A = this chain, B = another copy of it.
Amino acid sequence: MNEPAARRGRGRRGGGGAARRAERTAISVETAKYIERNIPCYEVLGEEALEIIETNAETLLEEVGVNFIENPVALERWRQAGADVEGERVRLPRGMARELIRTAPAQFTQHARNPERNVVIGGRNLVCAPVYGPPFVRDMEGGRRYATMADFEKFVKLGYMSKWLHHSGGTVCEPTDVPVNKRHLDMIKAHMTLSDKPFMGSVTDPSRARDSVEMCEILFGKEFVRDNTVMTSLVNVNSPMTFDDTMMGALEIYAAHNQACIISPFIVGGAMAPTTVAGTLTQVLAEVMAGISYSQLVRPGAPVIFGAFVTSIDMNSGAPTFGTPEAAHITYGAGQLARRLGLPYRSAGSFNGSKLPDAQAAYESANSLNVGLLSGVNFMLHACGWLEGGLVSSFEKFVMDADQLGALHHFARGVDMGENGQAMDAIREVGPGGHYLGCAHTQANFKDAFWRSEVLDYKPFEQWFEEGERDSMTLANARMKQMLENYQQPPLDPGIAAALEAYVAEKKASMPDAFG
């Protein structure tokens, strides 16, 4: 395996004096390794239920089929593969999708420019990435407002500083002050230069996916990108059963370059899918099977992820609702289906419908985060910062959620059943009526025994009262500011940084601004 170009710049095989100086002065930022589950997954569906859903999904693919819109190349690929193509409708003979999916890898490594931040997506692992897509941001001082590139950069910095977050994500908010046709350049440059964690590419136009690949070739080196996966990007399905040319265009470019895509039905139950769990799972499975089959037609072996974004709908207001029991059923069920297909799985996140980072936001987020861990999710997009049904990236909630991800890490470690875990000598030593605080076993284990929030409040009431009765939002606001204050840019070879600047400047100059 090659060494990424950005890594070479870190003084290993030379690199500039500026890079060496940057490295010497950089503070060390701790990032936990992605979660490796040492615990079982929760399975809400039995074997019979799973078989019914799998059979029904094949029936849908065969009888109803899926649409590939304005994409003659895709239709031709399907035709040659033996599908039944009629207009833009593609029907797959029973078993065809399952056969095509066999070339998709069960897990893959996404490389970061700092190899210590590489993530292995699939298997028993869970990789957490921040919120994706909101046009608004919110914080305590500024309230809710349209997001800007300055906000975007703050979120990338916060992600870099977040110990339990493994991935820098993609559109952590929409930088609405940059033209639509150019903002992907600034966003990717921000991920590349302000963080050294892995990131996502642009999918809003095939040309922007191509730009993403080219920028990666600058950061990592052409050869390295040819041989390795350096981006995981989000390709939504237009549920029900529709694949549009924009998203498929991006998928085609990424798959051809061996870059990873999440193929993700976007479901608001009762609108884009049936109101029932089994029906939704059937449709999701059919959609994912069609999309992943297509990725393998583009390039057999291209890394892909079984995605499922699910929310239900409030029957009174029509608003999407989050952290609900129905979404939990679907998330657990889809995890089982993904494992049976041998594919990495993306779902869950810090989902909620609240306008503020308050109790509602936290109940709903905790519901979904816990489901994500136990359902076997391998890639959790939106793991922190999501607010107001995805309309808002919240600074305070980003910090609170990212902190909660530490609890998932600790739960995933499972139970130590070794001699130290059994602690029989300690129990014998303390005996009835005794106290463990002073015993040798406690002294030896105390420091690492319990997960501890670095944001929330554990102080005695009197101290908390004297310090101004701060709620979680206020504590998170303070923490957020402290993190940004402590932020130091990870070192990058100045030659690479300059080349990225030049690429972005040239691309921007090559086309007029477009908004919307």
A interface with B by C-beta (< 8 Å): 39-40, 42-45, 48-49, 52-53, 56, 59-60, 63-67, 89, 144, 238, 240-242, 269-280, 282-283, 312-317, 319, 321, 323-326, 328-329, 333, 353-367, 370, 374, 388, 391, 397, 400, 404, 407-411, 413-417, 420-424, 426-428, 430-437, 441-442, 445-447, 449-453, 456-461, 464-465, 469, 471-473, 476
Q: Identify A358's interface contact among B89, B282, B365, B471, CB under 8 A.
A: B471
Chain B residues in 8 Å Cβ range of A273? 436
Considering only CB atoms, which chain B residue lies closest to A392 in the complex? B461
Considering only CB atoms, which chain B residue lies closest to A450 in the complex? B312
CB distance from A408 to the nearest CB of B (A): 8
Decide if B427 touches A274 in the complex (CB within 8 Å).
Answer: yes
Considering only CB atoms, which chain B residue lies closest to A327 in the complex? B450
CB distance from A465 to the nearest CB of B (A): 8
Decide if A449 touches B270 in the complex (CB within 8 Å).
Answer: yes
**In the bound complex, how far is the Cα of B319 from the Cα of A317, in angstroms?**
42
Decide if B363 touches A274 in the complex (CB within 8 Å).
Answer: no
**In the bound complex, how far is the Cα of B421 from the Cα of A279, in angstroms?**
6
Chain B residues in 8 Å Cβ range of A457? 353-355, 360
Decide if A314 touches B464 in the complex (CB within 8 Å).
Answer: no
CB distance from A316 to the nearest CB of B (A): 7
A-B contact list, 30 entries, CB within 8 Å: A60-B428, A238-B433, A240-B427, A240-B434, A269-B449, A270-B437, A272-B435, A274-B427, A275-B445, A278-B417, A278-B423, A283-B427, A314-B450, A315-B450, A316-B452, A325-B410, A326-B410, A326-B450, A329-B414, A353-B458, A354-B457, A355-B461, A359-B359, A359-B361, A359-B476, A363-B400, A363-B404, A363-B456, A366-B366, A374-B374
Chain B residues in 8 Å Cβ range of A464? 355
**In the bound complex, how far is the Cα of B400 from the Cα of A337, in angstroms?**
34
Decide if B473 touches A359 in the complex (CB within 8 Å).
Answer: yes
Decide if B282 touches A315 in the complex (CB within 8 Å).
Answer: no
**In the bound complex, how far is the Cα of B43 from the Cα of A39, in angstroms?**
9
CB distance from A120 to the nearest CB of B (A): 22
Chain B residues in 8 Å Cβ range of A459? 317, 319
Decide if A436 touches B315 in the complex (CB within 8 Å).
Answer: no
Decide if A431 touches B64 in the complex (CB within 8 Å).
Answer: yes
**In the bound complex, how far is the Cα of B428 from the Cα of A355, in angstroms?**
37
Chain B residues in 8 Å Cβ range of A326? 410, 449-451
Decide if B422 touches A278 in the complex (CB within 8 Å).
Answer: yes
Considering only CB atoms, which chain B residue lies closest to A311 in the complex? B450
Q: Identify A424's interface contact among B44, B56, B242, CB under 8 A.
A: B56
CB distance from A287 to the nearest CB of B (A): 10
Chain B residues in 8 Å Cβ range of A89? 432
Q: Identify A325's interface contact among B242, B323, B411, CB under 8 A.
A: B411
Query: Which of A53, A240, A374, A450 has most chain B Cβ within 10 Å?
Result: A450
Chain B residues in 8 Å Cβ range of A40? 42-44
**In the bound complex, how far is the Cα of B422 from the Cα of A439, in angstroms?**
57
Chain B residues in 8 Å Cβ range of A436? 240, 270-275
Decide if A279 touches B423 in the complex (CB within 8 Å).
Answer: yes
**In the bound complex, how far is the Cα of B242 from the Cα of A66, in angstroms?**
66
Decide if A66 touches B432 in the complex (CB within 8 Å).
Answer: yes
Chain B residues in 8 Å Cβ range of A313? 450
Chain B residues in 8 Å Cβ range of A144? 461
Chain B residues in 8 Å Cβ range of A43? 40
Chain B residues in 8 Å Cβ range of A434? 240
Decide if B360 touches A363 in the complex (CB within 8 Å).
Answer: no
Chain B residues in 8 Å Cβ range of A278? 415-417, 421-423
Given A446-B315, A452-B316, A458-B319, verify A324-B407 contact (CB < 8 Å): yes
Decide if B452 touches A274 in the complex (CB within 8 Å).
Answer: no
Decide if A321 touches B276 in the complex (CB within 8 Å).
Answer: no
Given A270-B442, A363-B404, verify A275-B44 contact (CB < 8 Å): no
CB distance from A199 to the nearest CB of B (A): 27
**In the bound complex, how far is the Cα of B48 from the Cα of A277, in angstroms?**
35
**In the bound complex, how far is the Cα of B425 from the Cα of A59, in angstroms?**
12
Q: Identify A59's interface contact among B275, B424, B449, CB under 8 A.
A: B424
**In the bound complex, how far is the Cα of B473 from the Cα of A134, in angstroms?**
25
CB distance from A263 to the nearest CB of B (A): 16
